[in-house]
Amino acid sequence: MTQASGSGMFIRVEVDEPVASDAAAAKQLAGVCPVDIFEASESGVTIVDKNLDECILCGLCLAVGPAGAVRVAKLYDAGALLVAAV
């Protein structure tokens, strides 16, 4: 299974297949993230490592794709996963 992922000092982001290689989902991720952590291309999404620690924990990316396909881990909090607001 392929996965797009990257780690900053404080934040780790993972995107599972099939979302990671889906051009439409990649565009959605790039569109919702206010700090440009996701870069979209025809082959899917790339995580922009240098922007990871800019994550504001807004949770907007968690709504893209099936539940749990996009994960934001707070490395400064023992890797606790960000939970989507309800």
Interacting residue ranges for ligand SF4, rule: CB under 6 A: 13, 32-35, 37, 55-61, 72, 82
Taking the CB of residue 26, how many other CB atoms lie within 10 A of it? 24
Please identify, using beta-carbon distances, which residue of 23 and 36 lies nearer to ligand SF4.
Answer: 36
Task: Find the shortest distance in angstroms from Cβ 19 to ligand SF4.
Answer: 13
What's the Rg (C-alpha) of the chain? 11
Q: How far is CA 77 from the centre of its chain?
A: 17
Please identify, using beta-carbon distances, which residue of 17 and 53 lies nearer to ligand SF4.
Answer: 53
Please identify, using beta-carbon distances, which residue of 17 and 74 lies nearer to ligand SF4.
Answer: 74
Helix (H) or strand (E) holding 68: none
